[in-house]
Chain A
Amino acid sequence: MKVNSEIKNHHPLSAGNLWRGVKHNKVALIGAIVLVVFFGAAIFADRIAPYDPQKTSNETFQPPSQKFLFGTDDLGRDVFSGVIYGAQTSILIGVSVALLSGLLGVFVGSAAGYAGGIGDDFLMRLTELFLIPPQFFLALIIAALFGSSLFNLILILTITSWTAMARLVRAEVLSLKERPFVEASRAVGASPTRILFHDILPNAFPLIITKIILMVGGVILLEAGLEFVGIGDANRISWGYMLHNGQHFIRDGWWIIAFPSLALAALVLALNVVGDALNSALNPKARAAHFDKAV
C-alpha cells in the first residue's frame, strides 16, 4: 500500500513528497503548524483582531489583561491587534517580494547560464556590483529617496533581493545543460527556448522553489529592519513600526516591544525550519540550507 503511493507520487513537488519531508521531522512539523497559524491570522485579521490596530484610546500603557491580551502602547493602541495585522503586512511583503525577486533571479540566472559568453559576463558583473552595497543600506537609501509606500517597498526589496537566486539558477543551468538528456533534445533539433523551458528549468524547479521559501524569512527581516529605522508605509501597521515606536517606551511596558519582536522571530524561525526540511527533502544532494539574513 505504502509503496504504491510512493511510486505514484514520484514528482519531487508532489504533496506526498512535501508531506514526507515534513512529517518525520517533528521540529518542521511544529514549524508548519506555526506557519498555518500566522497565515490564518494574516488572512482573517479583520475577524480575529478585537480592535482597530491604528485606533488610539485613553487606556495607555495597559499591561496584558483579558481585555487587552498583549497590553496597549503609548497611544492606547491594542498590541494584540497590531501583532495580528502586522502578520498581514509581513506575509504580504515577504511572499510577494520572494516570488517577484525569485522570478527576476530565475530570468537573469537562466539567461546568463544558458547564453554564456558576453551576455553571461555582463549579467554576472552586474550581479557582483549589486552584491557590494549591503542589501539593507541599498534598500534604505532607495526608500529614503523614492518614498516607502507599500508598493514602493515591494519594488525596492525586489530590486535588492534577486542576486542570490540569479547565481543559484545560473550554476544549476550550467550544470544541467551538459547532461545527456539536454544533448538528446539538442540532437533532435529542439530550439534553445524549448530546451530551457522543457528540459532545464523543470529540473531546476525543486531548487528554485525551496530557495523562494527560504527567501521569505530574509525579506520579512529586512522589511522589519527598514520599518524599525523609521522607513515604511504609514498607512499600515507592521511589526517593525511597532518596534520603532515602542523602543522609546521600553521602560514603560515590556509588552509593547516584546510581543511584536517574538512574533517576528517566531514567524521567521518557522519559515526557516520548514524551508530547511524541504531543502533536505527536495534537494538531497544540496548542502545545508543557506538562510538569507541581511539584518
Chain B
Amino acid sequence: MKIFFPRLYQRLLVKRVIQSLILILLLIVINFFLIHLAPGDPVYYLAGQSGDEQYYELIRAKFGLDQSLLTQLWVYLSSVLRGDLGYSLSYQQPVSAVIFSRVPATLLLIVSAILMASVGGILLGVEAARKENSFYDRLFNTFALLGHSFPSFSIGHLLLLFFALYLGLFPAQGMASANQDLTGINYFLDLLVHLALPSLTLAIVQIAQIMRLTRAEMLNVLGENFITTARAKGVSERKVLYGHALRNALLPVVTIIGSDLGMLLSGAVLTETVFAYPGLGRLTLEVLAARDYPVLMGLFLLISISVAVINFLTDITYPLIDPRIKYSR
C-alpha cells in the first residue's frame, strides 16, 4: 500500500514553487541584459526598428533609459511582471496580444504531434523490447537513428514533396482553406487535413526518442522478478508486456514527453515555416524579418517561462504517480 505524507509533499511543493519563481525572475533579468548588451541603442530592442524619434522618446521615458541600470532593471521587471511585454509596431498591437493570437495553432500542432508520437513510440518500443536484438528490434532501432538524424524541416520537406506535391493527397500550406466559409464538420475536416503533414513531421521528430526510452525501460523491467513470476503463473506474453511491464516502464517515458516541450517548440518553429502554418513559429520568422524585437524578446521569454512551468509540473506530479517513491519519516 502506498504511504503518503502530505506534510513532506507540501514541503517539496513549497521548495519547488520558490525555485521556479526564482528561475523565472532570472530569465527576465537575462532578457533585460541581452537587450542592454546587444550592440546599438537599447531603445531599438524595446521599441522595434520602425519607430520615429518621437516614439523612441516615449519609450526612453517609459523604461527610464536615462537613469541607472538598476532603476531600468526595476522598471523592466515590474512592467513584465504586470504582463506588459511592450508594443509591436509591425502589428500595431500589444506584444502579448500578438503572441497569444498565435498560441492556439501551435498548441493544436504540438498536442496532436505528442499524441501520435506517444502512441507510436510506446508501441514500437514495447515491440522492440519483446526480443532484444531480434529483426524488429534492429529495424526499429534503425528507424530511431534515422529519426535522430533528420532535422524537422528536412522531414517536413520530404513529406511535403511526396504527399502534397507528388501525390496531391494533402494541402501544402496553411491551417485552413482560404476563401471558403466552411462550418461544422467540414470546417473540422479542413483543419484536420491541413494539420496532418505538419503534425506528422513533428511526431516523427519525437517518436525516435520515445521509442528508444520505452525500449530501454522495458528491458529493465522485463528483467525483474515479478515478471518471471507472472510468466511462471502462465500469464499470456501479451498481458505480461502490456499489463505488467509497460505499466512500470511508462513513468520515465511520460516524464520525457513533458520535458521535451522545448525541443517540440523549436521543432514547431521549423515545421510551421515549412508548411506556412500560422502559429508561433511562423510568427518568429515574421518578426525576425521585420526586426520587431519586442515581439521576439516576448516570444523568447514566454517560451522559456512555459518550459520552466512544465518542468515544475512534471517535478511535482512525479511523486504523486510513482508508486515506488514513498515518503518515509
A contacts, CB < 8 Å to B? 128-129, 132-138, 140-142, 144-147, 217, 221, 224-225, 228-231, 243, 247, 250-251, 254, 257-258, 261-262, 264-265, 268-269, 272-273, 276, 287-288, 291, 293-295
Q: What residue of chain A has the Cβ atom nearest to residue B276's Cβ?
A: A247
Q: Jot down 22 A-B pairs with beta carbons below 8 A, ordered by A.
A: A128-B23, A129-B27, A132-B27, A134-B266, A136-B266, A137-B266, A140-B288, A141-B34, A145-B39, A145-B45, A146-B37, A225-B266, A228-B151, A228-B153, A230-B285, A230-B289, A250-B157, A251-B165, A258-B161, A261-B154, A295-B152, A295-B267
Q: Which of B128-180 contact A (CB under 8 A)?
A: 145-146, 148-154, 157-158, 160-161, 165, 172
B148 in contact with A228 (CB, 8 Å): no
- Is B75 among interface residues, defined by CB-CB distance under 8 A? no
**Do residues A132 and B304 form an inter-chain contact, with CB atoms below 8 A?**
yes
In the bound complex, CA of A291 to CA of B145 (Å): 9
Closest to B266 in A: A136
When the two chains form their complex, are residues B157 and A142 in contact, meaning their CB atoms are under 8 A apart? no
Q: Does B262 contact A (CB under 8 A)?
A: yes
* B297 nearest CB neighbor, chain A only: A141
Complex interface: chain B residues within 8 A of A273 (CB): 145
Contact A141 B300 (CB under 8 A): yes
Count of interface residues, chain B, beta-carbon cutoff 8 Å = 52
CB within 8 A of B34: which of A136, A142, A217, A254? A142
A30–B30 Cα distance when bound, in Å, is 45
B88 within 8 A of A: no
Contacts beyond the supplied A231-B288, A295-B270: 5 A-B pairs with Cβ under 8 Å: A134-B266, A135-B262, A137-B269, A141-B297, A243-B157
Interface flag for B274 (CB, 8 Å) = yes
Taking a contact as CB atoms under 8 Å apart, the answer to whether A133 and B145 are in contact is: no
Label chain A's interface by main secondary structure: helix
Kindly identify which residue among A128, A137, A229, A250 contacts B304, using a CB–CB cutoff of 8 Å.
A137
Do A133 and B269 contact each other (CB < 8 Å), given the known contacts A142-B34, A144-B288, A225-B151? no
How many angstroms from the CA of A209 to the CA of B284 in the assembled complex? 36
B191: interface (CB < 8 Å): no
Q: How far is the CA of A221 from the CA of B146 in the complex (A)?
A: 13
In the assembled complex, B113 has its CB within 8 A of some CB on chain A: no
The smallest beta-carbon distance between A61 and chain B, in angstroms, is 15
**0/1 string, B36-80, CB within 8 A of A gives 1:** 011100000100000000000000000000000000000000000
- Asked whether B266 lies within 8 Å of A228 as measured between CB atoms, the reply is no
Whether A146 contacts B284 by the Cβ 8 Å rule is no
Which of B150, B266, B311 is A132 in contact with, Cβ under 8 Å? Answer: B311
Whether the Cβ atoms of A225 and B296 lie closer than 8 Å is: no
Are the CB atoms of B23 and A134 closer together than 8 Å? Answer: no
Contacts of A230 in B (CB 8 A): 285, 288-289
Q: How far is the CB of A169 from chain B (nearest CB, A)?
A: 22
